Amino acid sequence: MKIFFSPRQRGHRPGKFLVSGRLRQIPDVPERVESLLMGAASCGHSIDEPEDFGISCIEKVHAAEYIAFLETAYDRWSALSDASSDVVPNVHPRHPGRGYPRSIVGRAGYHLYDLACPITPDTWTSALWGAHSATAAALQVRDGEARSAYAICRPPGHHAGRDFAGGFCYLNNAAIAAAVLRDTYQRVAIVDIDVHHGNGTQDIFYDRGDVMTISLHGDPAEFYPFYWGYETERGDGDGLGANVNLALPRNAGDNQYLDALHIGLSHLRDFRPQALVVALGLDSYKNDPLAFLQITTTGFERIARVLSSLRLPTVLVQEGGYLCEDLGMNLASFLTGFEAEQLQQA
């Protein structure tokens, strides 16, 4: 399996965010990448650096004004006489889209929907090279160079919508990978197994019938992102029925998760996709710092085998999974299960 990662993805060093009114360190620290790299290496994989693809693939899923904002926000913010060290908004529109301010303070609130996505000096570079990693993996699969490929994307991406950032996410790497696959395949599915709902991915594809989005996640009635991820959200227009949300109760374990996954995959088989993107969140682990579910290390192998048994060209895109002792081992478990199932099919 080809694996892609750029060292430039380490540069983003976010500070703190509010959790229940208290300041806490954002868990997307650069050090989590080292655990992921060790997990991949333990499976015998080498890591390739992606090339610079510019912004053409990003433009497939994100609005032009949003891309321009991410690229220039830190410099514009720093030019303010009394600005904080990082870009953190103090105002958010209740109904965005009715006006687009010139002020960088106003634009920050327009595009950053929560306080968990500060823009630091290296945020744009890190997010851009994360997108390059996703693009490189998707091109490997799209062009038939590999049956599957994995992108270590950091920062993660699935909370980033067409014109907004949130939840540690700036560019939606899974959506970018799906858009690249769509250059060849008429129907692509995204299965998001992160512990949080992929609200940004849903936003991007909600009215499209060519990309199915399936998200398994902690119940948003009591878990982030709270306002998206309910099972009544099924898509609009051409996309009606192509958005599937499967909300899981707190402390759901391996068997309950796999039952929900099989329900999601029944929808996927009806859709008949020709390629697959897996938004690979490992934060559903029982000991993750953001724990809500109770998935075990063995559970990740079982999940991987089910996804691999679909026998689809597949791009794995890293989402959450935060620094804990078993992070690398959980990735290794998933990759081992995914590849073992592929070998059985060969």
Q: What φ, ψ does residue 275 adopt, rounded to 5°?
A: -155, 160
On the 0-12 / 13-18 / 19+ scale of CB atoms within 10 A, 260 is middle
Q: Which of 291, 294, 275, 281 is nearest to 141 (CA)?
A: 275
* Distance between CA atoms of residues 194 and 196, nearest Å: 5
**9 Cβ contact partners less than 8 Å away, ≥ 6 residues apart:** 33, 126, 129, 130, 133, 152, 153, 154, 155
* Distance between CA atoms of residues 246 and 264, nearest Å: 7
Q: Which of 278, 4, 58 is nearest to 176 (CA)?
A: 58
Q: Which two tokens stand for residue 177?
A: 């990978």
Angle at 52 between CA 172 and CA 185, to 5 degrees: 55
Angle at 224 between CA 241 and CA 121, to 5 degrees: 110
Q: Which of 159, 196, 197, 217 is catalytic?
A: 159
What kind and span of H or E run contains 280?
strand 275-280
Query: Is 267 annotated in the active site?
Result: no
Question: Which residues carry out catalysis?
Answer: 159
